[in-house]
Amino acid sequence: MSDTATIRNPGYLKLELMIRGVKISRQALGCAEIERRIKLSKETGAALELEIVLPENVLVNIPVLECLAEDRPYTLIEEGSRFYIVGRDEKVEVWIPSLPEFYDKKTTSGVPMVEIGRAYAGYLAISPTPVCEFIKQDIACHYCDLESKKGRAWTVDEVVETVEAALDEGAAEFVCLNVGYTDTADGGIALLEPYIHAIKKKFDVLVCVQAQPPGEDKWIDATYAMGVDSIAYNIEAYDTKLFSRIAPGKLRLLGRDRYFEALRYAAKIFPSSAVVTNLIIGLESIESTNKGISNLTAMGVIPTLPIYRMGFDENMDSAKLLSDVAPIYVHLQQSLKRNKLSPTWISHFNLALNAIDGHFFGGEAPLQQKWQRVLKSKHGGRIAHSISNFRRRLRVRSVDDDSTPSGF
Amino acid sequence: MWLLTDSDREKDDPDVVVDSRPLGLVLLSRSYRWFAFIGLGLLFWILLAWPTPTGLTVDGQRTLAAFVICLILWLTRLIPLAVTSLLAITLIQLLGVMESGEAFALFGHQAVFFILGAFILAAALMKTGLSSRIALFFLSKFGGSPKQLLLGALIVPAFLSFWMPEHAVAAMLFPIIIEIVRALGTKPRKGNFGHAIFLSLAWGAAIGGVGTFLGGARNALAVGILKQTTGQFIGFFEWMIAVVPMVFAMLIIAYFVINRFFPSDIDSVEEAVDVLKARNKQMGKPSIEERMVGFIMLLTVAAWVFLGSAVELASIAILAVVALFVFQLVKWRDLEGYVNWGIILMYGGAIALGFALEDTGAAAWLAQVLITRWTTSPMIIIIVLAFISILLTEGMSNAAVVAMLVPVGLGIADTHGIDPRVIVFAIAVPAGLGFAIPMGNPPNAIAYSSGYIDPKRMLKVGLLLDLCAWVVFVLMAKYYWPLINIRI
Ligand code: SF4
């Protein structure tokens, strides 16, 4: 595929930018929005991302500090207060959303909100507590970004204040909470319970959780019951050997099979298409990834496909790279369709390429695109939240509805 | 910060489940309650408005209407058992069958206070650790072989259920048995031994529970209804003399059945013995509190046996409870978690309803319509009642079976000149012997929660044991009871 064709196709361009990054031109660096991101990133160590909206509303995020490097094939330029991505001989207009205002705010207890929550065009990501047994036992996942963060857990009030600020300015439509693994039957989800309760009580907002599978399935029921609308247990790699290499803690303390068991069970408990797992592209063979996609989608699980950027050969021919990787997204889109799954939830995860983007590589433009737009509207979000609550009310019941054992 | 704090540690088990059936079915099952309540309301109205059948008084008809509604609620558990009992007591006074003072006064029946005392005594046994010590002591005597260990797992809960509620015994032994099977490396639902040992626990506790008033409080409830309606009484010792031989027979049968259907698939139980020894060691020497509670318990049982005819059993139980507090062996707060207040409420309501059925002649009328119209042979009546009781207890609460059948049975006794005590035995004893279904008995439910029991295998073998229990009961009634002066 020619450079021109690449830059004109938002899906390809997103892929290219995710893999190869983008350089910010000198005059674009002077733009207040970008300057603010860089300043905040440096000051807080918060590793903010440069969010770029490509044509057809395709979102891509790239760590902003990486964009300061010189050796990138694409450049972000500013011309008369408009932004463009420039390739070798072609340019395309893009948009830079303004940085959320709550990043400059502090909680009542004095913590900068940017340290607590990060908004990614649609969702607010928060890791309320840095507890993780894998890290404690020195078997952290290889790409763990919590490992370097030492600090206290945020209080429920601090988290609620941050969520409130983000929702008030429309910086996010739903909240995504992350938690590490704890060596308890609940696997860590119980640590999130007070936060989830507080958020659900105070706001009409959907909550997604990224956690590790609990030891017992009943905690998956409990996860749904406590108000979680979408759950992600990330297996990262479908290949068994690779899984053990990149996630030694997951392998040793839980085992790969437990991830599949838990995902399969969660798919029965959570609404359709609300169970998600990461499958990193670029670490294993395409056949293996495709097999993973087929099996996971058959279980009712939606894979998100982030790209392992470090794994790519910098000098690799762009056309080859795209021709290798692009079919995976098409396969994902087809697998979802075959299994009647709708990628509405993952569409928010713009750090990864997703099935909705798949149509740029030759798949069909899915209906979900429209549905996604509806969900992103204020009323759409409320309706989604009400439907989600109604489903929970119907499906969740207490085990001791009658507290008297039968045989007395 | 990576270290977990205490509050991060093991959380309580979640108490919710998600119904993952198709949404339409869930909707239906959620809304059926309202249809059921409307249906119940209509049925109640029809039963009241129906012309009074010959042989039944108006009060009898009203009591019967209340009884039918409570029966359906007890069976379906649309509302908790205890709340149904409260409804029963309210209905009979609202319908004018009893004065409100009279109806509510039945909550103060001595059987209710006996059960309260028994619960508190059992709580003290558990709180001080004495019951665990006794269990570990006896269990460790059965460590010679897998078969011996199974025998221990059957006999120890049975013995303890003579003195404590059977569900408390099963709950107390449950973690010990879990440790044993883990030490032996048996996996849930795989192999026979794990299966067999949990069934031994459940069935041992259930069988032992029929032996005294303490194991299954329903026994005391049945005797309470007997006393309230006929003035007759069965003493603590008298009950044991009549029922304990059956307990022994059932233990022997259960042992053979378990070994026959779940032949041991392990060779040694050394690891289990190590676990028991380690647990024993952990317990250290008996504390003063344990010794004192043990002493009070022994005195109480002696008083029930020897003074039972002169002093109310409930009074002895309450005095024992007072002694626990005088010697500061337990605190009230400790007890609150152990005592099942709901069941106490339930018993109060059941006694009141039973009394109303008897008093208004509704029980006799019902008995006539349901059973004695078809047969007048006392032996057949006893056989049928025992059968119905075992059958019902597999599907509904033991106490509800007693509350439902005893008044009807006493009505039959009245019209056919059968010793009412026999009726009480014929209903209360089989009501504790549900072996086939996890929810048929509290010990079954507790053992089943281990994940080691396959419900299909339990059903198959349990039904066989149900049948054995029925046959043994009938043989006892026919050949043993006449020897101790209980004649049908
Ligand atoms: S689960 Fe893995 S990625 Fe998450 S905090 Fe633990 S080590 Fe890090």
**pLDDT tens digit string along A242-270?**
999 889 999 999 999 999 999 999 999 99
* Structure confidence at residue A369 (pLDDT): 57
Which residues form ligand 1's pocket by a CB distance below 6 Å? A 132, 134-135, 140-141, 144, 146-147, 180-181, 212, 249
Q: Nearest Cα to B431, choosing from B74, B106, B92, B118? A: B74
Residue A364, CA distances (Å) to A333, A334, B329 in order: 8, 9, 75
Q: Taking residues A203-228, what's their average pLDDT? A: 93
* Structure confidence at residue A311 (pLDDT): 42
Q: What b-and-e string marks burial along B346-357, b requiring 16 or more CB atoms within 10 Å of the CB?
A: bbbbbbbbbbbb
Can you state the angle between helices B378-395 and B420-431, rounded to 10 degrees? Answer: 30
Strands annotated E in A315-355: none
Where do we find the tokens 């029980």? B363
State the number of CA atoms in the 13 A half-sphere of B220 facing the CB. 32
CA distance A102 to B369: 77
CA distance A21 to B481: 92
Indicate whether this model's pTM tops 0.80: no
* Residue B387: partners with Cβ closer than 8 Å, 6 or more residues away: B430, B470
CA distance B75 to B72: 5
Task: Please tell me whether residue B55 adopts helix, strand or coil conformation.
Answer: coil
Q: Nearest Cα to B237, choosing from B130, B318, B310? A: B310
In chain A, DSSP finds a helix count (H) and a strand count (E) of 16, 14
* Structure confidence at residue A214 (pLDDT): 94
Q: Does A150 touch chain B (CB under 8 A)?
A: yes
Between A57 and B386, residue with greater pLDDT: B386
CA distance B485 to B488: 10
* pLDDT tens digit sequence for B326-361: 998 988 887 877 777 777 787 788 778 878 887 888
Q: What b-and-e string marks burial along B111-142, b requiring 16 or more CB atoms within 10 Å of the CB?
A: bbbbbbbbbbbbbbbbbbbbbbbbbbeebbeb
- Those of residues 199-218 in B touching chain A at CB distance below 8 A are 217-218
* Structure confidence at residue A374 (pLDDT): 59
First to last CA, chain B: 73
The torsion angles phi and psi of A13, rounded to 5 degrees, stand at -65, -40
* pLDDT tens digit sequence for A274-304: 999 998 887 888 899 999 999 999 999 999 8
* Structure confidence at residue A47 (pLDDT): 65
- Those of residues 388-417 in B touching chain A at CB distance below 8 A are 393, 396-399
Q: Does B22 touch chain A (CB under 8 A)?
A: no
Query: Where are the alpha helices (H) located in B11-129, listed in sequence order?
Result: 23-49, 58-76, 81-94, 100-105, 110-128
A296 touches A303 (CB < 8 A): yes
* Structure confidence at residue A407 (pLDDT): 38
CA distance A251 to A235: 10
pLDDT level of residue A44 (50, 70, 90 thresholds): low
With the most atoms of ligand 1 within 8 angstroms of its CB, the residue from A136, A145, A181, A182 to mutate is A181
* Spans of chain B, pLDDT less than 50: 1-10
Using the predicted structure, report yes or no on whether residue A348 has a pLDDT greater than 60: no
Task: Answer yes or no: CATH 3.20.20.70 is held by domain A108-387.
Answer: yes
Q: Which residues of B touch A183 (CB under 8 A)?
A: 4
**Cβ–Cβ below 8 Å for A396 and B18:** yes
Quick check: ipTM above 0.95? no
> Where exactly are the structural domains of chain A?
3-94, 108-387
Task: Please tell me whether residue A202 adopts helix, strand or coil conformation.
Answer: helix
* Structure confidence at residue A378 (pLDDT): 63
CA distance B458 to A6: 65
Return the number of other C-beta atoms located less than 10 Å from residue A314's C-beta: 11
Can you state the angle between helices B288-307 and B130-139, rounded to 10 degrees? Answer: 90
Residue B185 Cα, ligand 1 centroid: separation in angstroms?
A: 31
The helix (run of H) or strand (run of E) holding residue A10 is helix A10-20
CA distance A358 to A331: 8
Nearest-CA distance from A397 to chain B in Å? 6
* Structure confidence at residue B2 (pLDDT): 36
What tokens were used for A107?
């909680």
* Residue B263: partners with Cβ closer than 8 Å, 6 or more residues away: B192
**Cβ–Cβ below 8 Å for A395 and B26:** yes
